[in-house]
Amino acid sequence: MIGILIISHAPLGAALVACAKHVFSEPPEHFAVLDVVPDTEPQLLMQQATTLTKQVNAGQGVLVLTDLFGGTPSNIATQLGAAAAAGGASERVAVITGVNLPMLLRAITYRHTDLATVVEKAMSGATNGIVNLVSKAPQAQTRKFNDSSGGDGNGASGNDHSQ
């Protein structure tokens, strides 16, 4: 199983975990969050991230999800990935920025595969989870209301004037 570590600006990581628990009805295994609060020393964050990576690693590698490229959480995650790469194959760590709920849910769902597959599935979940709902709405759901219907113009009269 692939371990998952979220390193993000507080309280994003904790909120994403709460959402994942809601969807899956139980906390995921081999999973940790490092929510970065302002003014925390980067050395301390790196120590915490290293410890958490070791805790969640079940031997198949760790996927680190971070929020904003260039921010402190992603800088720590990048250092973590570089340190793992220098440590050899037993410390495989992949890092993805731009964490969102679809990315996390995909990562959890596919974490029983290999690290490369989890990375690919998580990234596709993130991008495919971004949808402009108005442009995707079927024509049948678009309503046009007539002021002479007796309604308030927002469909409150119960009359259906669908096109």
What's residue 142's pLDDT?
A: 53
Over residues 28-32, the mean pLDDT reads 93
Residue whose structure tokens are 């992603």: 74
Burial 64-79, CB ≥16 within 10 A → b, else e: bbbbeeebbbbbbbbb
Over residues 7-33, the mean pLDDT reads 94
Residue 110 pLDDT > 80, yes or no? yes
pTM here is 0.80
Residue 161 pLDDT > 90, yes or no? no
Over residues 106-118, the mean pLDDT reads 96
Domain 3-132, CATH number (from 1.10.3720.10, 3.40.605.10, 3.40.50.510, 3.40.50.920): 3.40.50.510
The residue that leads in pLDDT, 113 or 149, is 113
Residue 109 pLDDT > 90, yes or no? yes
Give 28's contacts (C-beta < 8 A, 6+ positions apart): 4, 20, 21, 108, 111
Over residues 100-116, the mean pLDDT reads 97
- Report domain extents, the chain: 3-132
